[in-house]
Amino acid sequence: MPLELQIAKESPEAPGLKVKIGSHCWTGTGYLSGQDEDRAADINAFFARAVLPIRGGWGSSRVLPYLDFDTIRRNPR
């Protein structure tokens, strides 16, 4: 696990929060963490729980067509 991600994980764990890293975090292709559909699947799964995104950027808008906005609406974060 890269040091940057390890620090980001340990920070919320210190006060007792549980951290789950997206299942497609390591399936990167180029500068993105996996295919757009896979990254959107991680986001959809997290909106059914608590969400604290730590990264985003250039490819973020590419997942919008694949997000489940009904789930997001029911579980605002």
User: 50-60: per-residue pLDDT in tens?
Assistant: 766 666 677 77
In angstroms, rounded to a whole number, what is the distance separating the alpha carbons of residues 40 and 66? 6
Indicate if the pLDDT at residue 35 is higher than 70: yes
pLDDT (average), residues 25-32: 75
In angstroms, rounded to a whole number, what is the distance separating the alpha carbons of residues 76 and 64? 16
pLDDT (average), residues 19-44: 82
DSSP secondary structure of the chain: --HHHHHHHHHHHTTT------TTTT--BTTBSS-HHHHHHHHHHHHTS--------TTGGGGGGG--HHHHHHS--
pLDDT (average), residues 30-48: 82
Please work out, in degrees rounded to the nearest 5, the angle formed at the alpha carbon of residue 47 by the alpha carbons of 44 and 49. 125
Residue 54 is predicted with a pLDDT of 66
Indicate if the pLDDT at residue 71 is higher than 70: yes
Indicate if the pLDDT at residue 62 is higher than 70: yes
